[in-house]
Amino acid sequence: MMLTDIRTYLRERGQATLTEIALHIDADPDAVRGMLQQWVRKGKVEQSKVEAACGSRCNRCDPASTELYIWRR
């Protein structure tokens, strides 16, 4: 069920961070990351990184908030 929820959410939004997806399906980000990897392996989702909004490269941002997933059409 969660895989379909993730698919639907990403299809509707086009892209979302790991944090946004985890909040949407009310699950731990590490568990969601594992589920997303199934979609990545199937070629349906592309993983990317979001640049820090502050413009800094200090790496103090929560990694889950900079991990971006994009639904491939």
pLDDT in tens, 7-54: 999 999 999 999 999 999 999 999 999 999 999 999 999 999 877 666
pTM, entire model: 0.83
Gap between the Cα atoms of 69 and 55, Å rounded? 20
Is it the case that residue 64 has pLDDT exceeding 80? no
Give the helix ranges, DSSP H, for the chain. 2-13, 18-25, 29-41, 63-66
CATH code for the structural domain at 2-52+61-71 = 1.10.10.10
29: its two tokens = 């980000």
The confidence score (pLDDT) of residue 73 equals: 80
Phi/psi of residue 7, nearest 5 degrees: -60, -50
The set of residues, in sequence order, having a beta carbon less than 8 Å from that of 7 and lying 6+ positions away, is 39, 44, 71
Q: Indicate the domain borders of the chain.
A: 2-52+61-71
